Amino acid sequence: MKYMLLINSPATPQDEPDPEAASFEEWVTYDKSVRESGVHVSGHSLADLTTATVVRVNASGERAVTDGPFAETREVLGGYYVIDVPDLDVALDWAARCPGARGRGSVVVRPIADFD
């Protein structure tokens, strides 16, 4: 069973860093354990939100491209993993070990839909 772990961090200004945020070394250690345990399917961290672009297509097929989204988001998706584990409890264990779950961060665990 595949689950996506969506790693969210609070949308805080640069001058107000989360004091409980994990260190770079902790992320490296976690990433290594996900890969070496055999549950890893895929995963990436995302570039800063200021680099994001939104695309919408209206009913007549016109493309609207805008900068963002920024202002209204309180939590920012910073990265994800897709893992393959037997059940939700195991997925929750991996989420709880993720450095992104600490401090003001959170990890949302979502099953990957299976259309077979």
- CB nearer to other proteins: give 48 or 114: 114
How far apart are CB 88 and other proteins at their closest, in Å?
5
Residues 6+ apart with CB under 8 A from 90: 39
How far apart are CB 99 and other proteins at their closest, in Å?
20
- CB nearer to other proteins: give 46 or 88: 88
Write the single-letter amino acid at 51.
T
- CB nearer to other proteins: give 1 or 28: 1
**By the criterion CB under 8 A, which residues form the site for other proteins?**
1, 86-89, 92, 111
Both tokens assigned to 22: 């994990």
CA–CA separation, 50 and 73 (whole Å):
12
How far apart are CB 111 and other proteins at their closest, in Å?
5
Q: What are residue 43's DSSP bridge partners?
A: 81
Q: How far is CA 5 from the centre of its chain?
A: 6
